[in-house]
Amino acid sequence: MASSLARTALRTAARRAPRALPAVSRPAQAASYSLLAKAAAAKSAQCATASGTRGVKTLDFAGTKEVVYERSDWPLAKLQDYFKNDTLALIGYGSQGHGQGLNARDNGLNVIVGVRKDGESWKQAMEDGWVPGENLFPIEEAINKGTIIMNLLSDAAQSQTWNSIAPLITKGKTLYFSHGFSVVFKDDTHVVPPKDVDVILVAPKGSGRTVRTLFKEGRGINSSIAVWQDVTGKAKEKAIALGVAVGSGYLYETTFEKEVYSDLYGERGVLMGAIQGLFLAQYQVLRKNGHTPSEAFNETVEEATQSLYPLIGQKGMDYMFNACSTTARRGALDWAPVFEKANLPIFEQLYESVKNGTETRKSLEFNGRATYREDLNKELEVINNQEIWRAGKTVRSLRPDYKPESE
């Protein structure tokens, strides 16, 4: 999930979360990326059920065959050898910069960070063990030193800074993104990569915090990979290798366009926008009909998130239909098509709004305002004050594993 609101919240959460112990220097080439990671790679190889060469699998997704790349095809020594002449210049140290940068560094690659001097990210990077003048530099200096330029500024900042960054991305360098946003919507962002560099994408399907925690657990996040421009003939291979380097377990091939369309669509849809809308609508009707806030919240959010959604995650909605009561099953079978029919035109409208660039223009306009932070806070304050979420605080406080929530 990657909504801009969620990114901000997750970035804040990531910054509040305990950090890994600072590592002050690049690990030796021989060092493993982590014992846990190695063990997990071995385990995933053992558990492989698909056909094809080990590490590159053709899998059957409900009748459609797709190629999936995996980390086990890139043992650490091969990865380090592949990038032995490269400097990965990570531009931006927010949610993704933090997760991807630390993972690549722990994988023994030569990583440097480029951020605004003395800004919030500069301080965070120093807390994480990046050393000014050694592997932490102002943006322009980092780009000059890097061979692979990983543009992990916020999407609005990628557009705002492009004019000063573009001339530094010279022939022979590789330009890397984690979202198709900037180049796909170039008419609005004005991000047009130089013609003589490879342009690739690795988009982790989760927050930077998850990118880091899964890596430390020896797992790996699912990521999309894509190629926008292949000058060397090696762009795809580089994207796969970089995906592994930054902590991906499995890599799914896509295009820049499909990545950005699906991502913007999903976060506005069931990942956040639609779910907030549905929660609110259901809650309001319960309240209008005399149900207490606790009853309305329990029936709308608590049961969903604590009981049913985790089961859907583990076993699918098809399983839920088999596992629930006969009464619930009858009702859900009857009402699902009603919701589908009512929502289909909205989802179609949403997809069109993404594809024709309306969502991008809104995002660039809003996130590029000088008053961005104040304007955002006003809107978030409205959500904070909604009765449903205030009631939720009390409901959550009764959970056996409750820990006081920081404001």
Q: Residue positions in the annotated binding site?
A: 263, 267, 299, 303, 325
Distance CA 109, CA 102 (A): 10
Helix 95-106 to helix 208-216 angle (10° resolution) is 30
Nearer to ligand NAP, 260 or 388 (CB): 260
| 193 CA to centre of own chain | 23
User: In a 3-state reduction of DSSP, which class is residue 149?
Assistant: strand
Edge-to-edge order in the sheet of strand 198-204? 56-61, 64-70, 248-253, 221-229, 198-204, 174-177, 148-151, 88-91, 111-114, 136-137
Active site residue 179: yes
Helix 208-216 to helix 4-16 angle (10° resolution) is 50
Q: Are 87 and 112 in contact (CB under 8 A)?
A: yes
Q: Cα-atom radius of gyration of the chain, to the nearest Å?
A: 23
Task: For residue 377, give the amino acid letter.
Answer: N
Q: Are 31 and 227 in contact (CB under 8 A)?
A: no
Q: Are 132 and 244 in contact (CB under 8 A)?
A: no
In total, the chain counts a number of residues equal to: 407
Closest by CA position to 186, among listed 211, 209, 155: 155
Nearer to ligand NAP, 92 or 266 (CB): 92
As annotated, the binding site for Mg(2+) includes: 263, 267, 299, 303
Nearer to ligand NAP, 107 or 159 (CB): 159
From the CB of residue 158, how many other CB atoms can be counted at a distance below 10 Å? Answer: 22
Residues at the site binding ligand NAP, with contacts judged by CB under 6 A: 2, 7, 10-11, 92-97, 115-116, 119-121, 152-155, 157, 160-161, 178-179, 181, 203-204, 207-208
Q: Cβ of residue 31: shortest distance to ligand NAP, in angstroms?
A: 26
Catalytic residue among 98, 179, 190, 291: 179
Q: Cβ of residue 393: shortest distance to ligand NAP, in angstroms?
A: 25
Q: Cβ of residue 185: shortest distance to ligand NAP, in angstroms?
A: 12
231 Cβ contact list (under 8 Å, min separation 6): 195, 196, 197, 198
Nearer to ligand NAP, 96 or 135 (CB): 96
244 Cβ contact list (under 8 Å, min separation 6): 71, 74, 79, 220, 251
Q: Cβ of residue 402: shortest distance to ligand NAP, in angstroms?
A: 26
Q: Cβ of residue 264: shortest distance to ligand NAP, in angstroms?
A: 10
Q: Cβ of residue 262: shortest distance to ligand NAP, in angstroms?
A: 12
106 Cβ contact list (under 8 Å, min separation 6): 23, 27, 33, 34, 215
As annotated, the binding site for substrate includes: 325
Nearer to ligand NAP, 207 or 360 (CB): 207
Q: Cβ of residue 94: shortest distance to ligand NAP, in angstroms?
A: 2
Tokens of 248: 């991906």
Nearer to ligand NAP, 160 or 276 (CB): 160
Nearer to ligand NAP, 80 or 121 (CB): 121
Q: Which residues carry out catalysis?
A: 179
